[in-house]
Structure 1
Amino acid sequence: MSISYLKGRGAQQNTPNKFLEQEHTVDPEFLEYCYKEGEEPSKLATQYQEVFPKTFVNKVNSPDVGMGYSANPYQGCEHGCIYCYARNSHEYWGYSAGLDFEKKILVKKNAPQLLEQKLQSKNWQGDTIIFSGNTDCYQPIERKLKITRKCLELMLKYKHPTGIITKNSLILRDLDVLKELAELHLIRVSISITSLSEETRRIVEPRTASIKQRLKTVEVLAKHNIPVNVMMAPIIPSINSHEILPLVKKVSELGARSVGYTIVRLNGAIADIFKDWIEKTLPDRAEKVLHQIEACHGGNLNDSRFGTRMKGEGEFAKQIALQFKIARAKYLSSVKEIEPLDNSHYLKIKNPQYKLF
């Protein structure tokens, strides 16, 4: 039986879970008996499962990710980005970092209640909370469940500094809340755009918003004075590494205030998932891409060292850094920098005596 390429999915397999002693597999003879030639039994609809965490706001201890606290309404992500570093976190739930990550989504319906408890905590001092530090808070199921919207309404109620990272244009649904947060300098949005090519987007990030919609999102947010940062993350050698200058030029014209980047690193199970994917998707350049990734990480596909893991090292990484330096100088030098978010409004609500100082 031949297994066809899974269109509409990033990962093409389920890798073993390192935390499980036993692995469940299906007998190939059973598959041949039950399915026709070319059919793939794993083409199942995305499944959603409610979970009941005791906390929602998480402290981020990594010194090089640019955030202190994150909040994720969902675990797993239907977007299916093949490079996603968060895939490995799905193993903690007993699932695979491969197809399970994008097909078995864990939903935190109690997130708004847990968030409000945190904001009411006497020890909480209003540090910025970033939504989507792990998985996208605007992935497709958010359209129905509106957990992220309910959380943003609470952030506005308490006038709390808020950050959002997303690659989904669904964020524009909540423009009314974002505009009010922006008026008080309480919001910063990072839109992830890794390519200007729709063809590249379809194979690398199969269930994300189109490039056209993401560019429109940057433009609309900027027009409403909502500070927008664009993340070209990650840079994948020989896939999108040639697009740095044209992408920065385009998003700067649409109103982006800043542009950041990371270099892809294939940590944990993602190495096997990515290698399997690129051999099926881009076989003509698979070896070249993998070797160039290794060149950015001291001969390895992954680098876990703080300080080097995000930007890489070596000549290829230096070339990427130089291109971003040139792009920023050429297209963003006259752009007003994004101001720090203001937590004084929250502190006044929490402690009325604060306004006396």
Structure 2
Amino acid sequence: MPNVHIPIQAIKGRGISHQQAHRYMRDAREAFDDGWSALDEAAQARDDAPPPATEVTWEDCRSAITKNESPDVGFMLGLNPYRGCEHGCVYCYARPTHSYLNLSPGLDFETKLIAKRNLAAVLRRELASPRHVPGLLAIGTVTDAYQPIERELRLTRAALEVLAEARHPLAIVTKGSGVERDIDILAPMAAQGLAAVYVTITSLDGRLARALEPRAAAPHRRLRTLRTLAEAGIPVGVSVAPQIPFITDDMEQVLEAAWDAGARRAFYTVLRLPWELSPMFRQWLDLHYPDRAARVMARVQEMRGGKDYDADFAQRMRGSGIWADLIRQRFDKACARLGFNTEREPLDTSKFKPQALRAQQELF
């Protein structure tokens, strides 16, 4: 990959600054300096051009619940109200899914979002079906269900209202403080053993978080979210994922702060770089951490059998080798010292009442 300089102004407020070519494109393009770059950078330095805006496109989804058969994931049912994510996390393993839409996993992933406007209606139909078998429904495991556009679109809240009506168990994973808005739904569900929330805190370093997860809530704000949810009686946990060698080096401090805020469960994964994500992350490293970029990637490859990524179910979440073992030992020892449970919150499937949804359908 060519070493292309990216002016820092070009990525203000966004995780990736360029339209990374996706793997289905027939033609690949590379940046070329024709002598005008110095003038272009001077213009950008004046900050004349507005930052790239977020665009939302509506989609009528055919299904709301996704089925997961991966043996290394702790749930079988998933729900994601949005495609793409405005949080712009550089390391997001979901970025390559935008390629299926003929969009860039780079800047498009965080600026061109797809909202499933009929999600609640389709979810209601699927839960009311006699074929549906209740199980843990994980919300926001691909893209964050509480990214900024949820404040206005409220698709996640609409789905929660259906799940509450049917008494269907759910777990949320988020970096967004907007989950606090839905405490009025989540707290009564939690009292019945039907809801849990996991907040991802990658690092307590605000400057790092701003570069790594530019539009997600600040680390101190996520801790406040943990405390607010815990005080409302909602079981909360912390995800210290992903672990990135020489970048996210304060795992123990994150776990301590999360415990003090009320989290009682914890889990982690190591950095995953599938498909187009690898060159984008390398470019981010070269821009923000040029002094350690080579060391970071050397350790990543050490955990992936010499490659940037290995999708093998046996090790894709935790990696393999000495460095992966070191991360695992640090996590296990910190959790044991603090008292964290590293298993997912057990939720109750016996209270599921699809007849509540069927009765409403029969009225129409």
Alignment partner of 1:154 out of 162, 167, 170 = 162
Alignment partner of 2:262 out of 245, 255, 258 = 255
Alignment TM-score, normalising by the size of structure 1: 0.91
Alignment partner of 1:277 out of 280, 284, 289 = 284
Give the 4+ runs in structure 1 shifted more than 6 A.
Answer: 24-29, 335-338
Unaligned regions of 5+ residues in structure 1, if any?
353-357
Do the aligned residues in 1 keep the contact of 2:90 with 2:212 (CA within 8 Å)? yes
Alignment TM-score, normalising by the size of structure 2: 0.90
Matches within 5 A, 1:117-132: 117-132=125-140
Change over 3 Å in CA distance of 1:57–1:338 after alignment to 2 = closer
1-structure distance, mates of 2:231, 2:165: 24
The aligned counterpart of 2:351 is 345
Matches within 5 A, 1:196-207: 196-207=204-215
2-structure distance, mates of 1:24, 1:111: 37
Q: Could you tell me how far 1:37 is from its partner in structure 2?
A: 3.3
Identity of aligned residues (%): 35
The aligned counterpart of 2:21 is 16
2-structure distance, mates of 1:149, 1:277: 34
- Equivalent position SS for 2:179: helix
| CA offsets 1:173-193 (integer angstroms, 9 cap, x no match) | 111101111111100111111
The aligned counterpart of 1:4 is 7
Do the aligned residues in 1 keep the contact of 2:89 with 2:212 (CA within 8 Å)? yes
Q: Could you tell me how far 1:347 is from its partner in structure 2?
A: 4.1
2-structure distance, mates of 1:329, 1:101: 38
Do the aligned residues in 2 keep the contact of 1:257 with 1:337 (CA within 8 Å)? no
2-structure distance, mates of 1:338, 1:142: 26
Q: Could you tell me how far 1:67 is from its partner in structure 2?
A: 1.4
The aligned counterpart of 2:228 is 220
- Equivalent position SS for 1:263: coil
Do the aligned residues in 1 keep the contact of 2:335 with 2:342 (CA within 8 Å)? no
Q: Could you tell me how far 1:350 is from its partner in structure 2?
A: 6.0
Change over 3 Å in CA distance of 1:203–1:348 after alignment to 2 = closer
Greater shift in the superposed pair: 43-52 or 161-170 = 43-52
| CA offsets 1:200-234 (integer angstroms, 9 cap, x no match) | 10011011001111000111111122111111110
Q: Which amino acid aligns with 1:4?
A: P
Q: Could you tell me how far 1:298 is from its partner in structure 2?
A: 1.1
The aligned counterpart of 2:188 is 180
Change over 3 Å in CA distance of 1:92–1:195 after alignment to 2 = same
| CA offsets 1:132-152 (integer angstroms, 9 cap, x no match) | 121000000000011100110
Do the aligned residues in 2 keep the contact of 1:195 with 1:247 (CA within 8 Å)? yes
2-structure distance, mates of 1:12, 1:47: 16
Do the aligned residues in 2 keep the contact of 1:2 with 1:37 (CA within 8 Å)? no
Change over 3 Å in CA distance of 1:36–1:310 after alignment to 2 = closer
Do the aligned residues in 1 keep the contact of 2:91 with 2:281 (CA within 8 Å)? yes
Q: Which amino acid aligns with 1:13?
A: H
2-structure distance, mates of 1:96, 1:170: 27
Q: Which amino acid aligns with 1:284?
A: D
Change over 3 Å in CA distance of 1:348–1:21 after alignment to 2 = closer
Q: Could you tell me how far 1:38 is from its partner in structure 2?
A: 3.8
Q: Could you tell me how far 1:3 is from its partner in structure 2?
A: 4.8
Q: Which amino acid aligns with 2:24?
A: F
The aligned counterpart of 1:98 is 106
- Equivalent position SS for 2:229: helix
Please state if 1:299 is matched with 2:306: yes
Aligned residues: 350
1-structure distance, mates of 2:32, 2:81: 36
Please state if 1:316 is matched with 2:319: no
Change over 3 Å in CA distance of 1:66–1:207 after alignment to 2 = same
1-structure distance, mates of 2:149, 2:215: 12
- Equivalent position SS for 1:230: strand
Unaligned regions of 5+ residues in structure 2, if any?
359-364
1-structure distance, mates of 2:290, 2:330: 27
